[in-house]
Amino acid sequence: MTESHPVDVTCSCGNVVQVKKWRSWCTKCGHAVYADPKLQQRHKWNYWYLTLIFIGTITFLVYVYLELIMRFTFTGE
């Protein structure tokens, strides 16, 4: 994305950040600040999607460990 005119956006912490591209970082709290609210909503959905994928992967790996590895380790088969 090319640079556009700078936009002043207020962060949730109250700091005013000048956004020159589609996203910038707040210098006070370190959160991402977006020039377009749709991009901020997409970022939020992507964050939760990746969190659920990570938790699902860990849950699956624990299940595989308990069902496959632990079953054959203690039964002696």
pLDDT number for residue 2: 54
The answer to whether the predicted template modeling score (pTM) of the entire model surpasses 0.75 is no
Give SS3 for 19. strand
pLDDT number for residue 67: 86
Which two three-digit tokens encode residue 58?
């860990």
Distance, C-alpha 62 to centroid of its chain: 23
pLDDT number for residue 47: 93
pLDDT number for residue 55: 98
pLDDT number for residue 77: 54
Residue ranges per domain, the chain? Answer: 1-35, 37-77
Mean pLDDT by 10 residues, the chain (77 residues): 75 87 87 86 93 98 86 65
